[in-house]
Structure 1
């Protein structure tokens, strides 16, 4: 789970959803991308999760941003640009915007046009001096900023530890893509969840109230509703495990019984105990993440963490395009 998605409903075309589900259920290890967890109901459930006592990332990162926002955006003047990738509802961004001068430009990038409209209206009312220029786009693909912004000083922003949803090699490619999409000599501010004891990690993705289980199982509800599926929700359960070798939390939907399921008329066989892998969330040490950023062409700058070193916010700069 990634806190950037708070409040955002990601409008993925039905054909893309269908292709991903049919392809994913055909694999030896059935798997469906975590992006499809966030329909309207999924986004509401995730918002609930972020307030649970077990789920530390959102409140911890918010506290770090609250304490150090001025440092993170220092030097970005009135002609500057703040670019947020996967902005969603832009709630955390308000902490940075409150520290910026008049007439700064804010460019939220998100696949959900409705989320961008809502965020633009709210931010324009609260920060009338900020020029909000939303861009509809998938940040996992190269993003083109408006032409007139390419020579302005810029800070990129990617909170929520969303980078953890990508495998290390994918994350390096994504960091490189961010650098190429920003103006030369930009800085980049990114949230990264840190490694910690497995017990706490598993608890964060398997809360006592069952909100994360409902969030994960909602994927099957969505498949039944949008793709004429016939999943029996009572015969599937949520499971969160930590793989210490890979350094990641995995979320699965496990079939308790042997059963056949149909989606868009196609049959899929499940053995008892077989699962659909729905999400990865990689955790890093600060050194591991800095090595990954270096491999993507960035240099490590300042590092901000909480007192318990549960979460980190990194400054990257000097992206090399060579």
Structure 2
């Protein structure tokens, strides 16, 4: 299963979950005192379409802001990478963002997109080869959250990594640090990593981005219940659950919940699940950082700051880091 953020990557890859794994995750999540659902299950075809609609909403700033940074600062970001590098994009999905860098990297030794959705990966690679015929494009079918190997014939080309979209914010901080260490293990000492990070800002701006006036985000959130009904024999009434997005100041994260409007009993695969009025299912976190707090997180995983770029309103940041 591709690890994808709820709102923070340009084009999520859809892949049907293994039915038993889906059921196990749902039942385990519903057995907790705070009921939870893994955010990766948002992305069936309908969920991906809703996500694309979210990225175009006036309230939702991350995608367009990061693209604007990549457009405005592309030459500087490219200059932060070692010459003749092999560039590894973790959880690549769509090539929309990396194209902003490739145009400024004519001497790149290779581009290696990493994703578990092999058919989508190869389709995207074919498009890149057509547009960048001199570039070596080597897709790597792997789960970037787990150890994997790069092709052995990259030689002495220095390594660089690309992790846009503030996907890092969808991991608990300890897991985000573990992920950065995993990237370091793949890339090796001296590597440079470019990573997108959403910034702490006015709570109203944050909450509006995850609870738009048109209700697209609410439909996206409820879509996970639609999947449970369709794929696991669930009996959820979607109208009986309200979408809620709130910024948790203490944890520095946006939380998404589905809140039961009244006490009710539902079934999943024939197993009863009770909800009290006002009880919620916690469906997603999106951590927000300051420049300093993200640098501290990166330092805990062995990465030193090189440079950071932000938009004029300081809504979003793109960091260059170097592994010691």
SS of the equivalent of 1:289 reads helix
Moved more, 227-236 or 107-116: 107-116
Q: What is the Cα deviation at residue 262 of structure 1?
A: 1.1
Q: State how many pairs are aligned.
A: 318
Q: Aligned match of 1:212 in 209, 212, 217?
A: 217
Q: TM-score, normalised by structure 1?
A: 0.95
C-alpha distance in 2, partners of 1:195/1:47?
Answer: 23
Q: Aligned match of 2:320 in 296, 315, 321?
A: 315
Change (3 A) 1:262 1:63: same
Q: What is the Cα deviation at residue 149 of structure 1?
A: 2.8
Moved more, 256-265 or 188-197: 256-265
Q: Which residue is equivalent to 1:256?
A: 261
Contact 1:9–1:115 (Cα < 8 Å) also in 2: no
Q: Which ranges in structure 2 are unaligned for 5 or more consecutive residues?
A: 1-5
Q: What is the Cα deviation at residue 113 of structure 1?
A: 2.0
Q: Which residue is equivalent to 2:140?
A: 135
1:177 matches 2:161: no
Q: What is the Cα deviation at residue 231 of structure 1?
A: 0.9
C-alpha distance in 2, partners of 1:303/1:228?
Answer: 48
Q: TM-score, normalised by structure 2?
A: 0.94
Show the 5 A alignment for 1:1-322.
Answer: 1-4=6-9, 6-74=11-79, 76-78=82-84, 80-101=85-106, 104-149=109-154, 151-317=156-322, 319-320=323-324
Q: What is the Cα deviation at residue 142 of structure 1?
A: 2.0
Contact 1:87–1:108 (Cα < 8 Å) also in 2: yes
Change (3 A) 1:249 1:51: same
Q: Which ranges in structure 1 are unaligned for 5 or more consecutive residues?
A: none
Q: Which residue is equivalent to 2:3?
A: none
Aligned CA RMSD, in angstroms, stands at 1.5
Q: What is the Cα deviation at residue 8 of structure 1?
A: 1.9
SS of the equivalent of 1:60 reads helix
